[in-house]
A = this chain, B = another copy of it.
Amino acid sequence: MISSAILDQRMEHFRARCAELGLAYTHQRMIIYRALASSDSHPTPEGIFEQVRREIPSISLGTVYKNIHTFTEAGLLREVNLLHDSLRLDANLGNHHHFVCVRCKAVTDIPEKDVAPLRLKHPLPDGFVLHRAAAELLGVCASCAASEPDLQTGSS
Note all chain B residues with C-beta closer than 8 A to A120.
114-116
Contact (A125, B108) CB under 8 Å given A84-B83, A89-B80: yes
- The segment out of A18-26, A55-63, A145-153 that lies at the interface is A145-153
Contacting pair B89 A44 (CB below 8 A): yes
Contacting pair A87 B68 (CB below 8 A): yes
Within the oligomer, what is the number of copies of this chain?
Answer: 2
Note all chain B residues with C-beta closer than 8 A to A52.
none
Note all chain B residues with C-beta closer than 8 A to A37.
91
Note all chain B residues with C-beta closer than 8 A to A134.
135-136, 138
Contacting pair B84 A87 (CB below 8 A): yes
A46 to chain B, nearest CB (A): 7
Which residues between 84 and 134 of chain A lie within 8 Å of chain B, taking CB atoms?
84-93, 98-99, 102, 106-111, 113-122, 124-134
Note all chain B residues with C-beta closer than 8 A to A117.
116
Q: How far is B140's CA from A151's CA once the two chains are assembled, in angstroms? A: 37
Q: How far is B134's CA from A119's CA once the two chains are assembled, in angstroms? A: 12
Question: A16 near B: Cβ within 8 Å?
Answer: no
Interface centre among A41, A91, A116, A143 (most CB of B within 10 A): A91
**Contact pick for A128, options B45, B46, B91, B141, CB 8 Å:** B141
Note all chain B residues with C-beta closer than 8 A to A80.
83, 88-90, 98, 107
> Which residue of chain B is the closest to A155 with respect to CB atoms?
B131
Q: List the 7 closest A-B pairs by CB distance, nearest first.
A: A127-B142, A80-B88, A81-B83, A42-B107, A116-B119, A114-B122, A130-B139
